Amino acid sequence: MAAAIFSVGPQAAQAVITAAENPLAIAMPPARTFSRTIAAAADSPHRLVVTLRGGALVGQDNTFKVGQGETVELAISSDRQMMLHLHGYELMTEVGPNRPGKIVFVAKIAGRFPVHQHTDGPGNHRAVFFVEVHP
């Protein structure tokens, strides 16, 4: 004996109709619950504005935190000429007065990464700030 189960809405009662009552009724499997996750595409990167004065951060904690998998944009301005290198991702930018720099990357690797200065003499490889990528 075939049965069809109809359900409308989460609060609706189920009606069972047998083939004897309706010859057109078809056997249907029990309702299944499923879920689907849709990852939203990032319309824009996670933008972090970094301001340096005298080679140091202005008014901010020295660590910027992002989530693993995010596209990150470091928008960096500085009152002095500097070459900055994001360790672990091996990306560099040059900044200076009226010359902001930008580093854009996908945070694939979890961890704490220094952004340090490349220069001749003292201060070479000095960490200016850090980027932490959290899983």
Specify whether 52 is located in the same domain as 25. no
Residue that is written with structure tokens 């994001």 in the block: 86
Strand intervals (E) in 7-126: 15-18, 46-53, 56-57, 63-67, 71-78, 82-86, 91-95, 101-106, 111-118
pTM (two decimals): 0.65
Rounded-to-integer distance, Cα 134 and Cα 130, Å: 13
Tell me, yes or no, whether 62 and 109 share the same domain. yes
Q: Does the residue 107 lie in any domain?
A: yes
Q: What is the pLDDT along the chain (135 residues), one digit of tens a residue?
A: 444 433 344 433 333 444 444 444 444 444 433 333 233 344 689 999 999 999 999 988 899 999 999 999 999 999 999 999 999 999 999 999 999 999 999 999 999 999 999 877 777 788 999 999 999
The residue range of the domain holding 24 is: 1-32
Residue 85 lies inside a defined structural domain of this protein: yes
Is residue 66 located within the same domain as residue 7?
A: no
How many angstroms from the chain centroid is the CA of residue 63? Answer: 17
Do you know the residue count of the chain?
Answer: 135
Q: Are residue 62 and residue 28 in the same domain, yes or no?
A: no
